[in-house]
Amino acid sequence: MERLRAFMLNRGIDEDCVKKLVNEKLDEDIIALMKENELTSIIPAMGDRYAVIKFCQEIANDKPATSGLSINRGTGNLLSKLRAKLKLKQNREESDGSSPDEGHTNRSW
C-alpha cells in the first residue's frame, strides 16, 4: 500500500483520498479489479481514478499469483508448460527424422 500511497501523493491526489482507501480496505489487488466509476466517491478526478487503477493493475501483474484475487491466476505458467511439451514433441519428431504429419495415429486428447 505504501507504493500506492506514494504514487497518489506524487500525482497530487489529496491525502484524504488515500485515507478513504485505507478505511474502505481497498488495496492494490482490489483496486486492480475495480471499474473507474466505483472509485468516484473516493477519488474525485477521473484522470486520477484511471491512473490509480492502471498503477494497481501493473502492480498486480508483477506479483506472483499468491492470493485468490490475483488477476493472472497461473494461466501464463500453464501456457509455458504446454509450449514446452509441444516443443519437446517437435524436437523428438525432428530427431526421429519424421515430419510432424508422418506416423500420426488418431489420438483423442
Q: How far is it, in rounded angstroms, from Cα 107 to Cα 88?
A: 18
pLDDT of residue 82: 76
Nearest to 51 by CA among 13, 24, 16, 22: 13
Whole-model pTM: value is 0.56
pLDDT of residue 47: 93
Averages of pLDDT over each 10 residues, the chain, 109 residues: 90 92 91 90 93 91 59 61 77 68 54
Domain ranges of the chain: 2-62
pLDDT of residue 70: 44
Q: How far is it, in rounded angstroms, from Cα 59 to Cα 53?
A: 10
pLDDT of residue 109: 58
pLDDT of residue 99: 54
